[in-house]
Structure formats: C-alpha cells, structure tokens
C-alpha cells in the first residue's frame, strides 16, 4: 500500500478541509487484544484505516478528524491524500494462458465420440515447440 502520496499540483504533505483522505489509527494495543490469538498476531496492535473528508487543514502525519461516508467523525493520523485503489489485474500468468489451447485440443481430439478410450493428451503443454 502506498501511504503519503499527494494530489498532483499540490504542495506535498499539505491537505485542505474537504479533501478526501485516509487516516490510520490503533484500535487495540497488543495487551488489549482478544485472548487466544496466535503468537505473531498477539504481539501486534489491531490497526484500522478509514477514508473520509478532512475537517481541518493538516500535514501528512498529523492527528486529524475526518467525516466518513456514513457521516461519522473519526480521529486518526493522516496518512494519504486522495487514497486510490492500488490493486490491479497483476501480471499475466502464462501457466494459465496455455490452458485454453490445451483444452481446445482435448475437445478436438475427443471429437463427437468423446468418452472413448484414448491416450492421455493433456500433459503436452501448449504450444509444442519444435525441437524441445
């Protein structure tokens, strides 16, 4: 996740009232958490990130108040201006792309008499490269 990014054309790290921002806060310190947590989680705080409209001018890292989309006021540390989705479709996965041609070949080989005995064919990855 990218924290601390700013809107283009704006002085870095300055946010104005009404800006759409993300805050970060600690909800529970390690000692306050639920019992029976696995060791790794028990040693960590429970953190929250909430988006909303900034209520005061502030710099990144400052404690601020926001107004959320449901109309609640929440306080926390200002960590991002214009928080934007950073997720995407990832990189192409050739291991998956070759499945289509392999399956089409299976269907062609099976033909209308699908279900007859035939040697296993699928283990020949597509494409079959000459001399490989």
Partner 1 sequence: MSPLFSGPGARGYREVMARSGEILRRALGLDYSSFRRGRLAFDYEALMASPGYGLERAAEIQAACHVGRTPLLELERMTQLVRSYAPPGCGARIFLKDEAANPSGSFKDRRAALSVHEAKERGYAGVIAATSGNYGAAVASQAAMQGLKCIIVQEVYDSRGEGQPEIVEKGRRCEAFGAEVVQLTVGPELFYVLLALLEETGYFSASLYTPYAILGIETLGYEVGVEVRARTGRDPDCVLVTHAGGGNVTGTARGLRRAGCRSTRVVGVSVDLSGLHMASDADFNRKSFTTGHTGFGVPFATWPDRSDVPINAARPLRYLDEYRVVTQGEVFYATEALAQLEGLERGPAGNTSLAAALDVARSLPRDAVVVVQETEYTGAGKHPYAQLTFARENGVDVRRGDPEEQVPGRSIVIPWEPSQIRARPLSLARLRASYLRNAVQRYGLKGVSREELEFLAEDCRADEGFVAETLKGMGVGVEG
- The 8-class DSSP code of residue 125 comes to P
Query: Closer to partner 1 at the Cβ: 11 or 108?
Result: 108
CB of 9 to partner 1, least distance (A): 24
Omega within 30 of 0 (cis) for the link into 127: yes
> Collapsing DSSP states into helix, strand and coil, what is residue 105?
helix
CB of 98 to partner 1, least distance (A): 8
Burial class for 3, CB neighbours closer than 10 Å (0-12, 13-18, 19+): middle
CB of 58 to partner 1, least distance (A): 15
Query: Closer to partner 1 at the Cβ: 123 or 131?
Result: 123
Query: Closer to partner 1 at the Cβ: 9 or 88?
Result: 88
Neighbouring-strand partners of residue 52: 21
Check: CB of residue 5 under 8 Å from CB of residue 80: yes
Contact residues for partner 1, defined by CB under 8 A: 1, 3, 25-28, 32-34, 37-38, 40-41, 44-52, 68-76, 85-93, 95-97, 99-100, 102-104, 106-107, 109-110, 114-118, 120-123, 125
CB of 71 to partner 1, least distance (A): 7
Q: Give phi and psi for 58, each to the nearest 5.
A: -160, 160
């Amino acid at each position: 996740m990218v924290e601390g990014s700013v809107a283009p054309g704006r002085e870095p790290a300055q946010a104005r009232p009404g800006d759409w921002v993300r805050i970060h806060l600690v909800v529970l310190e390690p000692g306050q958490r639920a019992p029976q947590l696995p060791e790794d989680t028990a040693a960590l705080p429970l953190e929250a990130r909430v988006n909303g409209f900034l209520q005061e001018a502030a710099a990144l890292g400052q404690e601020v108040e926001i107004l959320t989309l449901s109309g609640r006021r929440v306080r926390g540390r200002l960590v991002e201006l214009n928080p934007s989705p950073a997720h995407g479709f990832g990189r192409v996965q050739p291991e998956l792309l070759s499945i289509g041609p392999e399956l089409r070949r299976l269907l062609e080989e099976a033909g209308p008499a699908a279900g007859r005995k035939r040697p296993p064919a699928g283990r020949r990855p597509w494409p079959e490269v000459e001399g490989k």
